[in-house]
Amino acid sequence: MTEGSLSGESRPDRGPLVGLPLLEDLPAVDGRRVLVRVDFNVPLGHGAKGEVVVEDDFRIRAALPTLSWLTDRGAEVTVCAHLGRPKGTVDARFDVAPVRARLAELAPGVAMLDNLRFDPGEEANDCGFVARLVQGFDAYVNDAFGASHRSHASIVGPPARLPSAAGMLLAREVGTLGGLLVDPDRPFVAVVGGAKVGEKLGVLRALLGRVDRLIVGGGMAFTFLAARGHHVGASLLDAGRIDGCATLLEEAGDRIMLPTDFVALGPGGTLGEGDSGRGEVRMAGADLPRGWRGLDIGPESAGEFAEVVVKARTVFWNGPMGVFEDERFAAGTRTMAMAVADSKGFSIVGGGDSVSALDHLGLAPRVSFVSTGGGASLELLEHGDLPGLEALRDASNAPSAGD
């Protein structure tokens, strides 16, 4: 979706953006109070004087176009967000003060509420909490793509009570990822990594219905390899998902690519950041010796995967190829990041650790689209919709699908 279509020049007629109210669907905001749900769940660290500061303000900067659109039109804007997992209690470790300070630098005049998750009503989707949250506001904007797969109070509650709209970031995320569901340029290659195969079997099945090749890496690859009869040593394995992986492999034929070699850590070895880990490291084939853990794809696999990615017309990548925080097991993820950046096709990186790898390597500017939500991007691709989007379509000011 182009930026022009976000300002009323055209409206999509297919995909998950259909029927979604956009900013121009709001009543006039001049002099009105607007509550904006943002995803400012950002990493915190310590500054030069020991103070707590925002380490990476990417998600804050991503919301600025929506905040500017509203304030330029005379709106009084307040944002709300969660930070970490305080589990419904006030916890000083998750105070949004550092985030509020950075927001004040980037968007002067925009206010910010306290951490939504300090109240148990947020994650419980409590009606009373919704009522308190929206009290005094005239309109609501959801610009928190990274949280829109959660049926939390601040995501699904306000559209039932206030004129509502998708912010520019949310609309751009949904329009871009939704394009993969409608008519991607081919060949379309998806690369999915990470640790937990159980969380991604659904999206892998959904992707298989759309992609030309599906590359599986990271810790989740070992359950697939076990389904093919390989010995995975002490590598990550979800024994309860072996049958599910076997079924998927049978259905996919040769469209699923699995690693054929690994960088493995010997028995008793430890992981660390940078070069702080300990233990013997060696290359191994698809069968790993007893006690050895595969922690990165090997150079042969990385080269084969990269060759397929570089030739793709559309690439979607979510999840690292190994434990890239430990430099001994970072080469596979680094090779994949470079291949995605070198692809001449349209490339999408789906949030989370993949984005961290891109940023670390300085490759993010060479990717067509970097998503702010890893889990949300996967759920949108799996189900074609999100709870936050469904709630917006039910708002009183939402356009009909025929508009």
Sign of CA dihedral 319, 321, 322, 324: negative
pTM for the predicted model, two decimal places:
0.88
Location of structure tokens 């090749």: 213
Task: Please check whether residue 277 is in contact with residue 296, taking contact to mean a CB–CB distance below 8 angstroms.
Answer: no
How do residues 103-136 score in pLDDT, each as one tens digit? 999 999 999 999 999 999 999 999 999 999 999 9
The helix/strand/coil state of 202 is helix
For residue 30, with 0-12 CB atoms within 10 Å meaning exposed, 13-18 middle and 19 or more buried, which class applies? exposed
| Order of all β-strands in the sheet with 256-257 | 256-257, 213-216, 188-192, 314-318, 346-349, 369-370
Q: Which residues of the chain have pLDDT under 50?
A: 1-10, 401-402
> CB-based contacts of 200: which residues, under 8 Å, 6+ apart?
192, 194, 220, 319, 378
Record the tokens describing residue 66, joined without a space: 């929506």
Predicted local distance difference test score (pLDDT) of residue 14: 61
Predicted local distance difference test score (pLDDT) of residue 12: 53
Instruction: Show which residues are catalytic.
Output: 59, 196, 352, 375
Record the tokens describing residue 304, joined without a space: 């084969």
Q: Which H or E element spans position 191?
A: strand 188-192
Distance CA 299, CA 214 (A): 19
Predicted local distance difference test score (pLDDT) of residue 183: 85
Task: Please check whether residue 165 is in contact with residue 23, taking contact to mean a CB–CB distance below 8 angstroms.
Answer: yes
Domains, the chain, ranges and CATH? 4-174+385-393 (3.40.50.1260), 186-344 (3.40.50.1260)
Q: Which H or E element spans position 243?
A: helix 242-252
User: Which amino acid, one-letter code, is at 83?
Assistant: L
Record the tokens describing residue 397, joined without a space: 């000011």
- Tell me, rounded to whole angstroms, the distance of Cα 349 from its chain centroid: 8
C-alpha atoms less than 13 angstroms from C-alpha of 164 in its C-beta half-sphere: 28
Predicted local distance difference test score (pLDDT) of residue 13: 53
